[in-house]
Copies of this chain bind each other. A is one copy, B any other.
Amino acid sequence: MSERVYRVVQYGLGPIGQELARLAIERPSFRLVGAIDIDPAKVGRDVGEVLGLGEPVGVVVRPDAEAVLAETRPDCVLHATGSFLDRVFPQLETAVRASCNVVSTCEELAFPAAGHPELASRLDELAREQGVTVLGTGVNPGYVMDTLPLFFSGVAQTVTAVQVQRIQNASTRRKPLQEKIGAGRTIEEFQQLVAAGSVRHVGLRESAYLIAAGLGWTVERYEERIEPVIAERRIVTEYFTVEPGRVCGVDQLGRAIVGGSERITLHLRMYLDADPAYDRVRLEGATPLELVIPGGLQGDRATTAIVLNAVPRVVEHPPGLVTMVDLPIITVRQ
């Protein structure tokens, strides 16, 4: 591998975006050359100040994406502003029109054809026209519930079904995530949040479709259900105290029907004080195969890692909108 230094612009400075910027600053293989955010509390300030690094890094947060990209001409944009492709599409379009490669944490971009086939083909076309590559990735979707089982299937003679369990201990995660999973809510409040679409982990469907695509399967039907996990005892985290009987997290199950039967099962449980936490992949077949990550991959750290580690592969790849299955193996880039 080359010892090239990749010039990156951070697009979005929420919790994940800040962590991405921090990593890009720390690592010798990357140079942060620009930062985009519309939050008035961040605009005009040095990224070092926003991140609390104790010293300026010479990059000021600006709201005008087009100008920042035209001036800095980065090798790649690290995009982390939202989960829904239709909402972030104009931002991705701006980056691609500026001839920038993009790695995005947008969950729906991990397999955009699942939810937005038309936007996906427009983005693909535009990326080819501009000669750049666009990838959506992260730990989930992007790795642990899709690319990892696909990679594991390489040593399988037959796979009849794929099952992934991800049990995350939300107590170790940041406050917005604990909020998002409904910590401290009543069951009724939780169900209202589900109905409003605000406690759902976005990306389970994308993982299922990515697995299917990687295995050459056609998803006939995809179903998802969300239930609360109820605290059995009092749980105290840095941010919340949850009494017994209240919600302490979310239990989400995604199922894809292929050839008339359930062949992809993705089970995500994120709740406070989950113990043991782990990620587990099981491939059914003549010889079932199992793989376990004890403790489970920590969501934010693993997501920021894979986004940055993906940059060299994305920059070197032929133009277009790609998924994790199209790229060579992504390795740590320090």
Which residues from chain A sit less than 8 Å from chain B, CB to CB? Answer: 1, 3, 23, 139, 143-144, 147-148, 150-151, 153-159, 213-216, 283, 287, 289-295, 297-298, 301-302, 304-306, 309-310, 324-334
Cross-chain contact B155 with A297 (CB below 8 angstroms): yes
- Chain B residues near A157: list those with CB within 8 A: 23, 301, 304-305, 332
With A1-B216, A213-B1 as contacts: A153 and B290 at CB distance below 8 Å: no
Given contacts A139-B155, A155-B305, 15 further A-B contacts (CB under 8 A): A1-B216, A3-B216, A148-B151, A154-B305, A154-B310, A154-B329, A155-B302, A158-B334, A214-B329, A215-B331, A215-B332, A324-B329, A325-B329, A326-B328, A329-B329
Protomer copies: 2
A139 to chain B, nearest CB (A): 6
A32 to chain B, nearest CB (A): 16
A246 to chain B, nearest CB (A): 31
| The 3 A-B residue pairs with the shortest CB-CB distance in the complex, in nearest-first order | A154-B330, A153-B332, A155-B302
With A3-B216, A151-B151 as contacts: A332 and B159 at CB distance below 8 Å: yes
Cross-chain contact B23 with A154 (CB below 8 angstroms): no
A212 to chain B, nearest CB (A): 11
Cross-chain contact A287 with B301 (CB below 8 angstroms): yes
- Chain B residues near A295: list those with CB within 8 A: 290
- Chain B residues near A293: list those with CB within 8 A: 289-292
- Chain B residues near A139: list those with CB within 8 A: 155
Q: List 23 A-B contacts (CB under 8 A).
A: A1-B213, A1-B214, A3-B216, A150-B331, A151-B151, A151-B331, A153-B309, A154-B306, A154-B310, A154-B331, A155-B305, A157-B301, A158-B332, A214-B329, A215-B332, A283-B332, A291-B291, A291-B292, A291-B293, A326-B328, A327-B328, A328-B328, A329-B329
